[in-house]
Amino acid sequence: MKITQTTDYEIIAKLNKSVHDLHSELYPKYFKQYDYEAIKKFFKSIIHNDSFIFLLVEDNGEALGYAWIEIRKYPENAFKKSYKSVYVHQISIAETQRKKGYGSKLMEEIYEIAKNKGIDLVELDYWFENNIAKDFYQKHGFKKYREFVYKEL
């Protein structure tokens, strides 16, 4: 198994299908059906943004998953001190390859990137009913420090 940084937006768009399908199944009001061409176009438009990093996990030459992370810089203001974080936008592992340690290896790589950049905070969010993500991140020691709530009118 190897993890590398990538700018291959086509493979990221293909690997996005499993996480996108889960989101559209759980929250059809908010998520469109998976559309490879539209998602490929989106990733193509952001893949070279300096604040984003895309990690690709491969085993025996086969792409199995990815992580999309962002280096965030929060400026000081009247209320808060400045700080940096590594924000995890998405982790997606092919459905047939889950529970084999690939997601955990991606997380270890994310922690290493944070440490190498002198950042001691990794942040993320997930949709509340996404129990796969909730269980995975709890296993990795993530804790709530804010809650995002809503009310439909």
What span, in angstroms and rounded, lies between the C-alpha atoms of 63 and 51? Answer: 23
Give kind and range of the element (H or E) at residue 83.
strand 83-93
Which pLDDT does position 24 carry in this prediction? 96
Mean pLDDT, rounded, of the chain: 95
* Sequential DSSP letters for 90-109: EEEE-GGGTTSSHHHHHHHH
Give the pTM. Answer: 0.92
Using alpha carbons, list the distances in angstroms from residue 42 to 32, 38, 94, 133: 14, 6, 20, 23
Q: What is the pLDDT of residues 18-63, one digit of tens each?
A: 999 999 999 999 999 999 999 999 999 999 999 999 999 999 999 9
| pLDDT mean over 60-81 | 97
Nearest CA-CA partner of 2 in 59, 85, 46: 59
Which one-letter DSSP state was computed for residue 34?
Answer: P
Residue 13 token pair:
């768009």
Q: What is the structure's pLDDT at 150?
A: 78
Q: Which of 19, 89, 93, 81 is nearest to 54 (CA)?
A: 89
Q: Residue 53: enclosing H or E segment and its boundaries? A: strand 52-59
Query: How high is the pLDDT of residue 30?
Result: 95
Query: Do 32 and 55 form a contact (C-beta atoms < 8 A)?
Result: no
pLDDT of 129-147, one tens digit each?
888 898 999 999 999 888 8
Whether the pLDDT of residue 151 is over 80: the answer is no
What's the confidence (pLDDT) of residue 127? 85
Q: Give the residue among 124, 153, 152, 119 at the shortest CA–CA distance from 136.
A: 124
Q: Identity (one letter) of the amino acid at 20?
A: H
pLDDT at 128 over 90: no
Q: Can you give the pLDDT at residue 148?
A: 81
Is the pLDDT confidence value at 5 over 80? yes
Q: Which amino acid would we find at residue 47?
A: I
Set out the domains of the chain in order of their start, with CATH numbers.
2-139 (3.40.630.30)
Share of the chain above pLDDT 70, in %: 100
Confidence class of residue 100 from pLDDT cuts 50, 70 and 90? very high
**What pLDDT was estimated at residue 147?**
81
Q: What is the dihedral of CA 71, 77, 80, 83, to 10 degrees?
A: 20
